[in-house]
Amino acid sequence: MIDDAERKMQFLFALRSKGVTDTRVLTAMERIDRGAFVRGVFASRAYEDMPLPIACGQTISQPSVVALMTQALDVRPRDKVLEVGTGSGYQAAVLSQLARRVYTVERYRRLAQEAQQVFERLDLSNVTAIVGDGSHGLPEQAPFDRILVTAAAEDPPGPLLAQLREGGIMVLPVGQSDTVQHLIKVTRTPDGLDYEELRPVRFVPLVEGLGKE
Ligand code: SAM
């Protein structure tokens, strides 16, 4: 029988073996208990490196993917960050350890509300979950230093690009949901937008409009 400390060590070791080298990201991943964002029978599998089902037919991403996306985003302590696709709230909670302020937008009211409850339970006061169609971004809080999208679009949504501050970075999966998607890093430079392809990934699609639940 392995105890919590041993399980956490194995979890961090698995992240390192997948290429997560940024110690700030590893520390954030160590601090945020993924088990708090997973319910029912799946809670016992929270420290395995796999996606797990959550409410509304959605998923909490694989921890190594959360860590690698966070690493690619290169968040600095003064940054204001937008996440699109709250899901369980786990990714936003990890970002809250690295940024000044995090806003996360989710099209399912139920998921946004449940994530907000976990943020409050964990005393994460710099992260807020908002119900909305995140493909429009969050104009009332723009511009953002960093934007992370956790659902795949065919192309980077225009409103999100427009809400990225100069020097800002956006990381998002791009491609059709049933085919190969790629994780893309977009940097807004003084001369325009710079695109870098990072790795193949698989995410649920970015869907327009609000969810029914
Ligand atoms: N980041 C999440 C986490 O840490 O648990 C996992 C995200 S899950 C892979 C993708 C989420 O994006 C789903 O909860 C889905 O409902 C949401 N989503 C899809 N399209 C959206 C949109 N247009 N606006 C906001 N959320 C959206």
- Give the CA angle between residues 185, 97, 37 to the nearest 5°: 90
Is the pLDDT score of 43 beyond 90? no
Atom of ligand 1 nearest to the CA of 85: 12
pLDDT at 1: 63
Q: Give the catalytic positions in this structure.
A: 61
Residue 134 near ligand 1, beta carbon < 6 Å: yes
Atom of ligand 1 nearest to the CA of 134: 24
- Position 208 in a domain: no
- Position 189 in a domain: yes
Atom of ligand 1 nearest to the CA of 211: 16
Segment 67-118, tens digit of pLDDT:
999 999 999 999 999 999 999 999 999 999 999 999 999 999 999 999 999 9
Q: Which two tokens stand for residue 88?
A: 């369980």
C-alpha span between 124 and 104 (Å, rounded) = 13
Is the pLDDT score of 177 beyond 80? no
Is the pLDDT score of 176 beyond 90? no
Predicted confidence band of residue 212 (pLDDT cuts 50, 70, 90)? confident
- Position 212 in a domain: no
Residue 91 near ligand 1, beta carbon < 6 Å: yes
Between the CA of 126 and the centroid of ligand 1 the distance, in Å, is 20
Predicted confidence band of residue 40 (pLDDT cuts 50, 70, 90)? confident
- Position 213 in a domain: no
pLDDT at 3: 78
* φ, ψ at 76 (rounded to 5°): -110, 155
Residue type (1 letter), 12? L
- Position 55 in a domain: yes
- Position 88 in a domain: yes
Q: What is the CATH number of the domain that holds 20?
A: 3.40.50.150
- Mutational test site, ligand 1, from 73, 108, 202, 206, max ligand atoms within 8 Å of CB: 206
Residue 203 near ligand 1, beta carbon < 6 Å: yes
Burial label for 13, CB within 10 Å (0-12, 13-18, 19+), is exposed
Per the structure, how many domains does the chain have?
1
Question: Would you say 92 and 102 are in contact if contact means Cβ atoms under 8 Å apart?
Answer: yes
pLDDT at 7: 85
- Position 156 in a domain: yes
Residue identifier of the C-alpha nearest atom 2 of ligand 1: 87
Between the CA of 134 and the centroid of ligand 1 the distance, in Å, is 9
- Across the range 126-146, mean pLDDT stands at 98
- Position 210 in a domain: no
C-alpha span between 90 and 133 (Å, rounded) = 19
Domain that holds residue 171: 4-201
Q: Would you call 3 helix, strand, or coil by DSSP?
A: coil
Between the CA of 125 and the centroid of ligand 1 the distance, in Å, is 21
Q: Other C-beta atoms within 10 Å of 207: how many?
A: 16
Is the pLDDT score of 16 beyond 90? yes
